[in-house]
Chains A and B, each alone.
Chain A
Amino acid sequence: MNAPAPTKRSRTGTVRRPGDLAFSGASLGSAVLILLILAGVAFFLVMEALPALTAPGEEISGGEGFFHYVWPLVFGTVVASLIAMLLGTPVAIGIALFVSHYAPRRLGSAIGFVIDLLAAVPSVVFGMWGMAVFAPRLVPLYDWLDEHAGWVPFFGDASATGRTLMTASIVLAVMILPIVTSVSREVFLQTPRLHEEAALALGATKWEMIRTAVLPFGMPGVIGGTMLGLGRALGETMAVAIILSTGPFTWNLLGSGNSTIPAEIALNFPEASGLRLSELIAAGLVLFVITLAVNLFARWIVDRRAEFSGAN
């Protein structure tokens, strides 16, 4: 009585066609492939980095082990990215507010397109512009800072070419503007209209309305966007590799010296071989871990907002 019928029907009664199987199979396969690719990125990087991580200290560049080799690079990467963030974020928030609350709507969407364009300019072009046009323009400023604010530990003897970590940081700030701006603009535009009107009805000026309604609502999104920008700045290669005249670690951000992990890899990889290659890949692994941490943190903040924004 309960004998299975010899038809090709699944439990829900729908007919399983070969086309369906192929399609769902391809979809599932692609989805699983993404897992494999990511696992592959981690696996192959570790494989190639292993020789450098296990080699005796005196064989690594600098002669004192991998950690000693990599920490100035980590320092340069983090400092350049943090400066870029400090400079870029306020400007990006300003542009986002300009687009969402100050500019006429039509102009706002045109500006949105221009900002997207800024995001699409290849980084190598930013690097060439930064070195050829921007860096020389900054030299007078560096001289002035050296002369008048030399007591600040970061301001030492100014470079004559302007190819310093500071210049690289400023160009990085310009490069992360688009991502921070577009994320911020999006959340600012989502501010509940009622909150804004309530603030205005209570007598708030426009800025007070923004401070009390728009910014608190958008803050998690802005922080998330900033973190994404930080992730991008940490991994940015070509701009730093071209602009910065690299050298050993120094506290002086106005002179040449310092380097970042991506720049170190890009500058040395073409000629590297053997253990040096492995060293550079290991440095890349360190960068991967840092950006991964930053991105997960950003994701966590943005997701947290999604949970709490249901009350509007």
Chain B
Amino acid sequence: MTTQLTPAPEDQRSRTSGLRRARMDDIPGLVPSKVRPTTHRPALLLAVGAAVLALVLRLALDVHVAAALAAAFVAYLLVVYAVYRALGGPRVALDQLMRALVYFAFVLAVVPLVSLLWTVVAQGAARAFDPDFLTQTMNGVTGLHDQQYAEGTGPFIGGAYHAIVGTLIITGLATVISVPIGMFTAIYLVEYGGTNRLSRWIRFLVDVMTGIPSIVAGLFAFALFVQIMGPRDAKMGIAGAVALCVLMIPTVVRNSEEMLRIVPNELREASLALGVPKWRTIAKVVLPTAASGLASGITLAIARIIGETAPLLVAIGYARGLNLNAFEGPMNTLAVYAYFMFTKPLSPAVAAPSVERAWAAALLLVLIVIALNLLARLVARLFAPKTGR
């Protein structure tokens, strides 16, 4: 009554199965299970068959690609179930069916990701690396320019320089505000608070904060600055940074807390036993040990907020030109720029140039996010603390 369906070479169980079956057969009255060892070979053959079926449907019968794939997949499920039921009984058949569905789920998730990345690269690559696009702003650029460009009578002008600078300023401000608050909160939770009532409350509220919708964070920042500046001048860079802080602080706190917690207690105790004050122990022993984890966590948190659109849409307004002062007047960021260029082209009749700018900004944004993610991984791996012994 062995059921080892996938006799993997490193698996020990399959070797003993013969022995086990012999013993079970000796027991009078015991009906052996119908499950017999089967391999994946029929499934592989059927998968090839399904692929051929999909190709035939698509090429010979001119069925829509998605419909052809769906039909082939359903056919595959049915045939696999029938074949394995005949080979090894219903339990083996169900096992193969679920295996097919799990693999299918994975493929299903990869398709949109590939399509999305491909679209962004294909649509954005034309402009994203153009020096003019990277150094010009939208100041003075109107729909007329776009129409002239489309007719071939004018150059392509207008870029995302102001948006790139705005992204850096606002994200930088948000990081400068969030990181100390988040890190010190994590230090409080791990080093000072322990499990007292305040730290339990703070953990709970940090969780609540994680769930704040980004647009609500933007509304909060706007409402706050309306109280301070009045409704007319409320939209400015720092308001956007405050909105992003609401989104960034919980990420920093949770990640830093996790990283500080894995610093071995022996290190703290050794330092304290040498008579080092607690704050110096934290600053000189605990933080350096956790540095790589902290840095990679902060990088990921930055990657999270750098693409935020909704809170900035609400809090910083929309600037066409360069604004280096985060404390006065609207600003622009890549995400907001992409949104407005995409949904409100300069010239509604000739949308193509604006849409081109939007995709270029989107590509820059995606590249930044991917780079930050890779950087975080690299930092975590290269400077990993040597905790194990």
Query: Which A residues form the contact surface with B (CB < 8 A)?
Result: 15, 17, 19-20, 22-24, 26-31, 33-35, 37-38, 40-41, 44-45, 47-48, 90-95, 97-98, 102-103, 111, 113-118, 120-129, 131-134, 137, 140-141, 174, 177, 181, 200-201, 203-208, 210, 228, 231, 234-238, 241-242, 262, 265-266, 269-270, 273, 277, 280-281, 284-285, 287-288, 291-292, 294-296, 299
Contacts and interface: CB of A to CB of B under 8 A. Distances in A.
Contacts of B359: 128
A122 to B, nearest CB: 3
30 contacts: A24-B188, A29-B184, A30-B181, A30-B184, A35-B205, A41-B246, A44-B227, A90-B105, A91-B108, A91-B109, A102-B99, A102-B102, A102-B103, A114-B113, A120-B300, A120-B369, A121-B307, A122-B308, A122-B335, A124-B338, A128-B358, A129-B119, A133-B116, A203-B35, A208-B91, A262-B213, A284-B219, A285-B216, A291-B212, A294-B211
B307 A124 contact: yes
Interface of B: 1-6, 13, 33, 35, 64, 66, 91-92, 94-95, 97-99, 101-106, 108-110, 112-113, 115-116, 119-120, 123, 180-185, 187-189, 191-193, 198-199, 201-202, 204-217, 219-220, 222-224, 226-227, 231, 245-246, 249, 253, 277-280, 282-283, 300, 303-304, 306-310, 313-314, 317-318, 335, 338-339, 342-343, 355, 358-359, 362, 365-366, 369-370, 372-373, 377
A265 B223 CA distance: 14
Given A34-B185, A47-B223, A94 B278 contact: no
B205 A117 contact: no
Contact of B219 (A33, A111, A265): A265
B279 A41 contact: no
A124 B212 contact: no
B34 to A, nearest CB: 11
Given A265-B310, A281-B223, 4 more contacts: A27-B184, A120-B307, A235-B216, A237-B214
A201 B306 CA distance: 50
Nearest to B232: A273
Contacts of B3: 200, 203-205
B58 to A, nearest CB: 14
A200 B95 CA distance: 13
Given A122-B307, A122-B366, A124-B338, A288 B277 contact: no
A270 B105 contact: no
A6 B182 CA distance: 37
A295 B209 CA distance: 10
Given A30-B188, A48-B226, A124-B335, A235 B119 contact: no
A31 B227 contact: no
A26 B184 contact: yes
B105 A40 contact: no
Contact of B216 (A124, A131, A288): A288
Contact of B120 (A38, A129, A207): A129
B1, B201, B224, B282 interface centre (most CB from chain A within 10 Å): B224
A133 B361 CA distance: 17
A120 B211 contact: no
Contact of B314 (A114, A124, A242, A265): A265
B102 A94 contact: yes
A8 B284 CA distance: 24
Nearest to A210: B98
Contacts of A123: 307, 309-310
B185 A281 contact: no
B207 A295 contact: yes
B306 to A, nearest CB: 8
B101 A37 contact: no
Contacts of A116: 373
A270 B317 contact: yes
B145 to A, nearest CB: 22
A206 B6 contact: yes
B116 to A, nearest CB: 5
A181 to B, nearest CB: 8
Nearest to A122: B307
A19 B372 CA distance: 35
A133 B118 CA distance: 11
A120 B373 contact: yes
A235 B115 CA distance: 24
A26 B300 CA distance: 24
A23 B282 contact: yes
